Amino acid sequence: MTTAPMESRALMETLAAVDPAAQTACADWTVHDLVAHLAAGAKEIADLIEESLAKRPARATQSFDEREAAFRALPDEQLRRAMVDESRRKVAATKALHAGGPEATFDFTGRPFTAATLEMHGRSEAAIHRWDLVGDDVESAVLLAQPELTRHAVEVLNTLPILAEAPTARTSQAHASELRIVLRSPARPDVVLTAAPRRFTLRARRTRLGQRRRRGHHRRSEPAPEHLGAPIEPASHHHPGRSVAVGSSRRGALAARDPLAP
């Protein structure tokens, strides 16, 4: 029997303890809505893998509204049983895809996914949606500090421009040609996320402890870019657009993680 990833176990334990009518950090979503999102996503992925393995003609991934409406309409107890059932289907379908070898793929949201990529995506989704339920607690800090989840998030958002979290959407919402978000942790290099209209990039930036910071920028000693799973761009002294320094309170798939954490 395969053990569920720790992110999934943590999400399920948290879901069992929260009120279905409680609001989440996802705009306009209650806990019930979030469970419907998880159930519908698991069903759609299982359906797509099964159809691909059966050599049926490829189809477009259903939109959130198309696949979630029927689940949202269920009573909460029935919805939670459906989420478990569809999650089991997804796990079984992923194993079947694995059996086809590391190059076997199916199309999901307009890009090919291998079984390994899908498993990483499931871990990322579980960690993020647990944060949506409870926010910054000790367990979220552990789950969201895993660098492989940040690498995956950057890769997925760069290759799925239809998502609201993708770089084109984010820069458009901010009315800026470029955004920079600086993730800061004590005694660690800053992690700089740059969002341009077509791509997110990540890089590390080392600073002197205690050095004065002015106007949202700070001088650097010995910049040391590190490969974080996305293209590394050299630091520049001037960036058109906007720059935001983020402290310990963070939101979302990227801003909640320190990619340099061990």
pLDDT in tens, 79-102: 999 999 999 999 999 999 999 999
- Give every CB contact of residue 210 below 8 A, 6+ residues apart in sequence: none
pLDDT at 181: 83
Helix/strand/coil for 202: strand
C-beta separation of 237 from 167 below 8 A? no
Number of neighbours of residue 114 by Cβ within 10 angstroms: 18
- In which element (H, E) is residue 129 found? helix 115-134
pLDDT in tens, 117-127: 999 999 999 99
Q: How far apart are the first and last CA of the chain?
A: 29
Average pLDDT over residues 1-9: 86
* Residues facing 112 on adjacent strands: 107
As a whole number of angstroms, the distance between CA 230 and CA 238 comes to 21
C-beta separation of 247 from 184 below 8 A? yes
- Give every CB contact of residue 47 below 8 A, 6+ residues apart in sequence: none
Nearest to 188 by CA among 258, 136, 120: 258
Does position 246 have pLDDT exceeding 70, yes or no? no
pLDDT at 226: 41
CATH number of 6-144: 1.20.120.450
pLDDT at 262: 29
Q: What is the pTM of this model?
A: 0.75
Where in 122-234 does DSSP place strands (E)?
Answer: 179-183, 190-196, 199-205
* Residues facing 190 on adjacent strands: 205
DSSP 188: S
As a whole number of angstroms, the distance between CA 183 and CA 198 comes to 21
pLDDT at 236: 36
DSSP 16: T
**Domains of the chain: which residue ranges?**
6-144, 167-255
Full 3-state SS string of 40-95? HHHHHHHHHHHHHHCCCCCCCCCCHHHHHHHHHCCCHHHHHHHHHHHHHHHHHHHH
pLDDT at 207: 60
* pLDDT band at residue 1 under the 50/70/90 scheme: low
Does position 14 have pLDDT exceeding 60, yes or no? yes
- Give every CB contact of residue 120 below 8 A, 6+ residues apart in sequence: 148, 149, 152
C-beta separation of 42 from 86 below 8 A? yes
